[in-house]
Chains A and B, each alone.
Chain A
Amino acid sequence: MNALSQYRNIIPIFRKELRSYFNSAVAYVVIVVFLGIVGWFYTSNLFLINSASLRLMFDIVPWVLLLIVPAITMRLLSEEKKSGTIELLVTKPLSDTEIVLGKFLAAWALVGITLAPTLLYYITVASLGNIDHGPVVGGYVGLLLMAGVFVAISLFASSLTENQVIAFIIGFGMVFAFFMLDKILPYVPEWLTTTIEFLGVDYHLGNISRGVIDSRDVVYFLSLLGFTLYLTMLSLNRRKW
């Protein structure tokens, strides 16, 4: 069996979950609320600072994602557990890896789709003034990587419980903690500051969105993401203990 066919079942799971976002109102509500909040904060200040930059938008988006990502991810595994469909899913000839990756990618894709319309701001602002393209590319790459980490963490939260509200709260709590880590720096002993700073999501996001895509930051995001997905697979496997 070649390496790719081992993962081919990711596709039907991905498609099913993404379709279910759009069949229910979830996708539309998320997109509308996201664009509403981001648009309002961004445009109301854009003309005040009078500079052609997306900086303000990249500042506000992580805060909105903090709330939205746990909300779109909370039901992915908890609902399957609650309704019992998990039993059908895991007795089909597919691996836990495929289940977790399929669901992860679907939620990540929805975040991507939600972010996509903000490219209009980029086009608009770029046509109005001189925009520095580096930070914009970096900003989007950073946001997508951060969203990936948020989705992975929230998916792990969803695997812990069959209650969606609990999944949301746990997911939000963990995501918030990772995001706020470098805000508590003034209160930690000095020898710990570098470690804590490095663990915080915002620190790496800041690096990338300056337009410098450093491999250290990318490795940070990808390893946090991979580790959380691995924990999720372990958690899904709990039934076997």
Chain B
Amino acid sequence: MSISVHNLTKYYGREKAVAGISFEVKTGEILGFLGPNGAGKTTTMKIVTCYMPPSSGTVEVDGYNIFDRSMEVRRKIGYLPENNPLYLDMNVVEYLDYAARLHGMNGEAISQRLKLMVDVCGLGSVRHKDIGELSKGYRQRVGLAQAMIHDPEMLILDEPTSGLDPNQIVEIRKLIKDIGEKKTVILSTHILSEVQATCDRVIIINEGIIVADGTPEKLQQEFRGAEAITVEIKSSEPADAVAVKLKSLAGVEAVERSGTSGHTHSFTLMTAKGSDVREELFNRAVAERWVLLELTRKGTSLEEVFHKLTRAEGGS
């Protein structure tokens, strides 16, 4: 089950929402679509799910073009749209049954799949409640159950955890990860920790174009710049003297004093790209008879990569 998107462009009126993006998704991959609001994530998903056609470009799902073989594509995809729309006046089982029937399932197949979905998504206790009475977390699970009811080979989830509380987010992420072991999943989000927690691969999209594509680790590596190291040193020497000695270490570009209380001084060291000064710092501390109370390296987080990529583009 693979998706290949080629040179996809979408205009809304004169506004360009997606500006010629191309990417491939392989079977069994969990792909995170990351980008600020309005970057084109939702538009891309709406096109892949056959909700609306692109202005130009092609999308193939498992070799089926979304134009000519739309029905085959739709059968293969389970979709959770943005904001998780549901029929609030139906109860959970009724709704899942309806979704299954629209996929052409019937009788025995439905009751088996329905039971499984209720179990997998933890809906047992609310199965006969109206969806309108459910909390947001349960509604999200109903939305996911609906997307998976026909056992699709691919799931497309548009912001699956938006509006949930932290516990629910952890549960839904775990659920998505479990599903991702067997299925291809594309999820969109603007929450970075989500991508780190669930995805095998990230595509960062901004203003309709792809600005980065790779595993979360790879992106961090690629965009790793100067690192910051925070140290806390206990010494009888004055803070200024310590700072000067720290500055003389190879690889340290700048030293910033961030506080002193008694004989304890805190510093933030900015280091050159690619250098690791921790070992030398430790040796120096021993030689100078400083007591090293804290030594922390702050690597570039995916968050910083994201800010770098999307702000530079957006600010122009």
CB of A60 to closest CB in B, whole Å: 32
Q: Does B51 lie within 8 Å of A91, measured CB to CB?
A: yes
Contacts of B99 in A (CB 8 A): 88, 92
A84-B81, A85-B85, A85-B87 are contacts. A91–B101 as well, Cβ < 8 Å?
no
In the complex, A210→B253 CA distance in Å? 99
Residues 41 to 85 of chain B near chain A (Cβ within 8 Å): 46, 49-53, 71, 74-75, 77, 79, 81-83, 85
Contacts of A8 in B (CB 8 A): 104
A85-B85, A88-B81, A88-B85 are contacts. A16–B98 as well, Cβ < 8 Å?
yes
Q: Does B85 lie within 8 Å of A92, measured CB to CB?
A: no
A interface size (C-beta, 8 A): 23
CB of A76 to closest CB in B, whole Å: 12
Q: Does B83 lie within 8 Å of A91, measured CB to CB?
A: no
Contact for A92 among B52, B82, B94, B102, CB less than 8 A: B102
In the complex, A13→B50 CA distance in Å? 20
Q: Does A91 lie within 8 Å of B90, measured CB to CB?
A: no
Q: Does A93 lie within 8 Å of B85, measured CB to CB?
A: no
A91-B77, A93-B74 are contacts. A20–B90 as well, Cβ < 8 Å?
yes
Chain A residue nearest to B71 (CB atoms) is A93
CB of A17 to closest CB in B, whole Å: 10
Q: Mark A18-33, 1 if CB is under 8 A from B, else 0.
A: 0110011000000000
CB of B136 to closest CB in A, whole Å: 15
In the complex, A123→B2 CA distance in Å? 65
Q: Does A92 lie within 8 Å of B53, measured CB to CB?
A: no
B86 at the interface (CB under 8 A from A): yes
Q: Does B86 lie within 8 Å of A85, measured CB to CB?
A: yes
In the complex, A9→B99 CA distance in Å? 11
Residues 221 to 241 of chain A near chain B (Cβ within 8 Å): 239-240
B268 at the interface (CB under 8 A from A): no
Residues 69 to 125 of chain A near chain B (Cβ within 8 Å): 83-85, 87-94
In the complex, A211→B212 CA distance in Å? 74
Q: Does B102 lie within 8 Å of A9, measured CB to CB?
A: yes
Q: Does A91 lie within 8 Å of B79, measured CB to CB?
A: yes
CB of B104 to closest CB in A, whole Å: 7
B271 at the interface (CB under 8 A from A): no
Contacts of A83 in B (CB 8 A): 85-88
Q: Does B52 lie within 8 Å of A9, measured CB to CB?
A: no
6 further interface pairs, Cβ-Cβ under 8 Å (given A16-B98, A83-B87, A89-B102):
A19-B94, A83-B85, A84-B82, A84-B83, A92-B99, A93-B71
A contact residues vs B (CB 8 Å cutoff) = 8-9, 11-13, 16, 19-20, 23-24, 83-85, 87-94, 239-240
B contact residues vs A (CB 8 Å cutoff) = 46, 49-53, 71, 74-75, 77, 79, 81-83, 85-90, 94, 98-99, 101-104, 146
Q: Can you list 11 pairs linking A and B with CB atoms under 8 Å apart?
A: A11-B101, A16-B98, A20-B89, A20-B90, A23-B89, A85-B85, A87-B51, A91-B81, A92-B102, A93-B103, A240-B53
